[in-house]
Amino acid sequence: MRICALPVLVALGIAGCGGGGGSGGGQGALAADACETAALAALAGKTMALDKAVFAGTMAAQADGSQLLKGPVTVQPGLVDESKQTLECAVRFTAGKDAPDVLRVQFIW
């Protein structure tokens, strides 16, 4: 029984290392980068602070094949009009493309 369980545990360990990671350069980091770029464009010149490693770690598969990332963001950090919000971003990875397509960026107050 132990011999059969070892390959399964090794496979689970390998699968756990590939998808989400923050600054390690995996799909989560790529998605976080794409989301940050799209969010900054939506803010039209405002600044924001986002912990991309934490944000990347929230990546979760959705039923429609997209990936959803969700996490805290500070808009206009350190300024009088600073606001803390939640950023939701949906992306889809396409074979042959380096970066995912951003499907939706939403700031939740």
| Domain locations in the chain as residue ranges | 2-108
Phi/psi zone of residue 45: left (φ > 0), alpha (ψ -120 to 50 degrees), beta? left
Say what the pTM is: 0.77
Mean pLDDT calculated for residue range 33-45: 97
In this prediction, residue 109 has a pLDDT band, given cuts at 50, 70 and 90, of: confident
Integer angstrom CA distances of residue 105 from 15, 78, 79, 96: 28, 23, 23, 23
Residue 13 has pLDDT above 60, yes or no: no
Averaged confidence pLDDT in the chain: 84
Residue 71 has pLDDT above 70, yes or no: yes
Within 8 A by CB and 6+ apart from 97, the residues are none
CA-to-CA distance for 69 and 64, rounded, in angstroms? Answer: 14
